[in-house]
Structure 1
């Protein structure tokens, strides 16, 4: 019984850890998207400032080109994280299922133990009732 309690605690810890991983990846994706949006704003502001929006133009600002490259890198990283997020969610789902199985087994054992205790108590009460009825007869 004690080992099963330890197993349940371990499974709960694993589920919590997987949830933290999922949350951390989600936060990182959101942060990358926010940073990319800020870079988009900076690119537009720079294009507006110099009056050139054609990337192929010889006088296109190097700051805007560099910002575009950083933005693109952030979006690639965010896409890579989405793949990791899918895997982390799948691992979380599997960990939750494992934990539920162990908890169900634990609950089933508790029900059995309660039923056995009730049966023993009923047998004892039946025995007492039989003794009382024998004495009264």
Structure 2
């Protein structure tokens, strides 16, 4: 019985670790998207300073700045999409942790029952020895 519960605990721990890795990976992706968007913002500002034109509707607005704006907007949209996936991954992690805790508690209760049963058997043996000794006297 013990090996089965240990296997189940190991499996649940594996699931928890996998969910943690997924959460960390999504968080890194969001950070990368936001970092790249920030770098594009800096490049756009440099381009505005170089050309002296910051109005997107202006006929001479830099095509590089337009492309950078589009890329930045796409990166920020991707980061927002990933935030939704992050919430789902965090919920899955919380659920996996909850499952692990349940299995650990069940294992702990089973272990305690086995100890109690072993103590009861030992006590019954001691009681029997005491009865036999008492009868001899």
Tell me the TM-score normalized by structure 2.
0.96
SS of equivalent residue, structure 1 residue 124: helix
Q: Per-residue deviation at 1:8?
A: 1.2
Q: Distance in 2 between matches of 1:119 and 1:38?
A: 70
The number of aligned residues is 136
Tell me how large the CA RMSD over aligned residues is. 0.8
Match of 2:102 in 1: 101
Q: Per-residue deviation at 1:83?
A: 0.7
Q: Per-residue deviation at 1:19?
A: 0.5
Q: Distance in 2 between matches of 1:89 and 1:11?
A: 16
Match of 2:123 in 1: 122
Gaps (5+ residues) in structure 2? none
Q: Distance in 1 between matches of 2:16 and 2:42?
A: 39
Match of 1:62 in 2: 63
Match of 1:45 in 2: 46
Q: Distance in 2 between matches of 1:126 and 1:17?
A: 51
SS of equivalent residue, structure 2 residue 60: coil
Q: Per-residue deviation at 1:128?
A: 1.1
Tell me the TM-score normalized by structure 1.
0.96
Gaps (5+ residues) in structure 1? none
Q: Per-residue deviation at 1:4?
A: 2.0
Q: Deviations over 1:74-130 (max 9, x none)?
A: 001001100110110111111111111111111000000000000001111111111
SS of equivalent residue, structure 1 residue 52: coil
Match of 2:33 in 1: 32
Match of 1:78 in 2: 79
Match of 1:16 in 2: 17
Q: Distance in 2 between matches of 1:35 and 1:16?
A: 28
Regions of 4+ moved over 6 Å: none
Q: Per-residue deviation at 1:3?
A: 2.1
